[in-house]
Amino acid sequence: MALSVCDVTIDRTRKELKRHGLVMFPIACYEDDLSLTTVPWHWHDEFEFIMITEGIAPIQVEETTIQLMEGDAIFINSGVLHNIDNSKVIEARYRSLVFHARLIGGSIDSIFWQKLITPIIQDKSFRYLRLDHSMSWQADVINNMAAAWEAVVDELDDYENLTRYHLSKAFRLLNSNRQVQGVKTSHRERLSAERTKVMIQYMEEHYAEELSLDDIADSAYVSKSVCLRCFRQVIGTTPIRYLVQYRIEKAAERLTETDEKANEIAISCGFSDISYFSKCFREWKGLSPLEYRKSFIMKQGPA
């Protein structure tokens, strides 16, 4: 995949609009001279690791400024506002990896998501972590980040699996050393988790039907605003986006397991607009429905 161009385009909320990596491999790697590059205030749904390879650079995360030296790094959680003020940089270069949770976790109902991703996203106090290379476990995190970065940039043999492996190891270390064990979960957090489970179950049972945000919220007897807050807090996405992803996964199953036409599958999976189905399918799978089926058949080989 090599290096991506470092340019930040944001909307009025300062959310970054750029897609990092590919739909099927959602990670992008960057490298630049921070004295020549301005990284404005922005946030994104993806996680980010930033490593300083030369010099000194101040990374600002919300109201906190973290001074990073050569060899140090920082992990920035999903949805957290941050920037780099190049006027305060001392001849520094950096490398960064920006990647979506599904690269490590797969689908949000998988054991990998639940063990590696959910604890990070749910811990609202865990906005970032400064990684000091002089500390053993943090040095291991940095080394795994560096290995993942090099695998992507150099396109090493089997680099997709190598990248996921190293990032998974880094997340395992983060989860093991955040010292969240024994922290009591509040009643509100437990209630949000239970409500989200009810709404997810409802969507998965009725995904083939026309569903609105009102329908989803009503299934757990909550308002639309509470529904949205629960999903963002518990699994880091919106209910409608979860529903679309689930429908796409069910459609993908049907494409590989049946001979049904793609249009028929789309309708039976809750998509009334065929062009929207095709657009969403390509976004999640990186291929059109027919290309996906053809790719599956070619991988299977002759009967």
- What was the pLDDT predicted at 188? 76
Alpha-carbon distance 215 to 211, whole Å? 6
Phi, psi angle pair for 231, to nearest 5°? -65, -45
Same fold, 27-177 and 187-300: no
pLDDT at 295: 83
pLDDT of amino acid 142 = 95
Q: What is the dihedral of CA 102, 103, 109, 110, to 10 degrees?
A: -170
pLDDT tens for 207-236 read: 999 999 999 999 999 999 999 988 887 766
Residue ranges covered by each domain of the chain: 27-177, 187-300
User: What pLDDT shows up at residue 184?
Assistant: 47
Name 280's Cβ contacts closer than 8 Å, sequence gap at least 6: 244, 247, 248, 271
Q: Which residue has the tokens 């929207």?
A: 276
Region for 79 from its dihedrals, namely left if φ exceeds 0, alpha if ψ lies in -120 to 50, beta otherwise: left
* pLDDT at residue 301, as a whole number: 61
Residues lower than pLDDT 50 in the chain: 180-184
- Is the full-model pTM beyond 0.95? no
pLDDT for 211: 94
Domain 187-300 sits in CATH at: 1.10.10.60
Q: Which CATH fold would you assign to the domain 27-177?
A: Jelly Rolls (2.60.120)
